[in-house]
Chains A and B, each alone.
Chain A
C-alpha cells in the first residue's frame, strides 16, 4: 500500500486500485495468456502503464516542485512566473534554443532540466538514472 494524501473518495485509493490492476494482470492474466507473443507483449505493456500511473499519482509533489523550479529559471530572465504545464515547457525550450544564451543561465537550465528528467524517470522507469551508465558515451 502506498501513501497518498487524504481523499474524500472511498478506499481503495487510486494508487491501490492501479497496483491491484497491475498485480492481477501480472499474476493471473499473463500466465494464462498462452503463447501469442503479441498478446503477451500487450499485457506486459498494460502492466507497465498501470505501474507508471500509480507511481505518478503517488508522487504528489512533482508538479508543484518542478513548476516552481522551471518558473524560477524563467523569472530571472524576462518571462513571468505565470506559465504552467506545456506552456512552461515551451518557454524554457525556446529560451534554451536562443543563440546568445548566457552560460550561467545554461548551467542553471541544465540543472533544472536534469531534475525534471530525473523526476519523470522516477515515475516512468525507476532506477534508470542510477543504473551504471558511464559507458553511455562509449
Chain B
C-alpha cells in the first residue's frame, strides 16, 4: 500500500484533474487491507460546497488490471453495479468519485460517502436484540432492496459484468462447483454428496436472469438503528461489497442471505440471524419479486457448497504457504460446519 500522504495527494490531484474540484483529503483510519483491495476512512473537504469535512470511504484496487478474482468483478464493473442499484432505489454508498486511472494512487480507486450505522454482524445482532422490532423490518428491507435490484435485466448491464446464466445459472454453477471440488486439498465426501444433490435437483430457471449482488449477507450491510423522520428505525442504510455482482438467478441472493453460517449462532432467525424468512419474503414479494421455493433451497445448497470450498481454499492457502494468516488456518476447521449444513439441507427425510 502507498503511504497515506501519497494517497491523499494523489486523490486530491485526481479531483482537480478529472473534476476541476479542489479538495483536501485527510485519511483518518484503515477499515481493511486485503490482497486485492485496501479500504480507508477519510475526511474530504471540498471547495465546491461549505459543508466542511465530510466522512468518506476510499477503496483502492491493488491490481493493475482491476481484476480481483475469477468471479470478482473489476472495480469498473462494481461502480457500474453501484450506480445501477442506486438508480432503482437500492440503498448503497453514494459514489463521489471513481477512476480507473492508475497514475494517481497506483490503481483504480473509488471515493464514496460514509454511511452511518453498524456493520459488524455481532453488533447488528446486538442492536436487534435491544430493539427487536428492527429485525423483521431489516429482513423486509433486504427483501425490498433485492426485489428492486433483481428488476435490472442482463440487457441493461455492460459486458464487463460477469454472467452466470449459460445455459442456465444453475447449470453454470454446477460446472464451477465441480471444478472446485476437483481442486480440493483433501476430498470431501459430504461436498460430493452436496454436488450430487445439486445435479439431481436442478431448480426451475428464473423467468429472466437478472443482476445479482452475489454476497448480500450479515456482514455486508450497514444498519442504522437510529429513529428516522417517520418515527421508525432507519434499518437498512446501505448494501456494501459489490465485488461478486453478476448476472444470474435472483434466488441466489435470497438463499445466501439465509445461509446458517451468516446467522452467527442466532439460528432461529433465518434471515441473517436478525429476521424471519417470512419478513424477507414479504418484503421481496411486496416489491414485485418472484419467490421460487425450489430455487431458494437449491441455492442454499449451492452457496453452502461454494463457501465450504471457499473455506477449504483459505486453509489450502495456509498449508501451501501462500498465506500466513491464522484465520485462514482456522478456516479449515470450519469446513465441517458447512458440510453439516449441506447434509441437513439435502436430507430428504427432514
Interface residues of A (CB under 8 A from B): 41-42, 45-46, 48-49, 52, 70, 86, 89-90, 92-94, 96-97, 101, 109-110, 113-114, 116-118, 120-121, 123-125, 128-129, 131-133, 135-138
Contacts and interface: CB of A to CB of B under 8 A. Distances in A.
Given A42-B327, A48-B330, A121-B340, 13 more contacts: A46-B326, A49-B329, A110-B343, A113-B190, A117-B343, A121-B336, A121-B337, A124-B333, A125-B337, A129-B340, A132-B267, A137-B344, A137-B345
8 contacts: A86-B187, A93-B191, A94-B192, A117-B343, A121-B336, A121-B340, A137-B345, A137-B350
Residue among B186, B190, B191, B277 facing the most chain A CB atoms (10 A cut-off): B190
Interface residues of B, number: 39
- Chain B contact residues: helix, strand, loop or mixed: helix
B195 interface: yes
Contacts of B339: 117, 120
Given A92-B189, A116-B190, A137-B300, A45 B337 contact: no
A89 B297 contact: no
Contact of A116 (B189, B297, B330): B189
Contacts of B186: 86, 89
Interface in B157-193: 181, 186-193
A117 B296 contact: no
Given A93-B188, A97-B192, A97-B195, A133 B267 contact: yes
B326 A124 contact: no
A97 B341 contact: no
B188 A138 contact: no
B44 interface: no
Contacts, number: 107
Given A114-B343, A135-B277, A93 B337 contact: no
A124 B332 CA distance: 10
Residue among A46, A110, A117, A125 facing the most chain B CB atoms (10 A cut-off): A117
Nearest to B188: A93
B190 A117 contact: yes
A114 B340 CA distance: 7
Interface string B317-350: 0000000001101100110110111011101001
B268 interface: yes
B330 A135 contact: no
A114 B339 CA distance: 9
Nearest to A90: B187
Nearest to B342: A117
B270 to A, nearest CB: 5
B148 interface: no
A118 B189 CA distance: 13
Contacts of A133: 260, 267, 344
A104 B28 CA distance: 62
Given A89-B188, A124-B334, A96 B196 contact: yes
Contacts of B267: 131-133, 135-136
Contacts of A70: 189
B237 interface: no
A101 B297 CA distance: 23
Given A93-B189, A136-B260, A128 B345 contact: no
B38 to A, nearest CB: 14
B343 A113 contact: yes
Nearest to A122: B336
Contacts of A48: 330
B336 A89 contact: no
B189 A45 contact: no
B192 A138 contact: no
A113 B345 contact: no
A94 B191 CA distance: 11
B258 interface: yes
Nearest to A91: B187
Contact of A138 (B187, B190, B297, B330): B297
A137 B260 CA distance: 9
Nearest to A41: B327
Contacts of B334: 124-125
Contacts of B191: 93
B277 A138 contact: yes
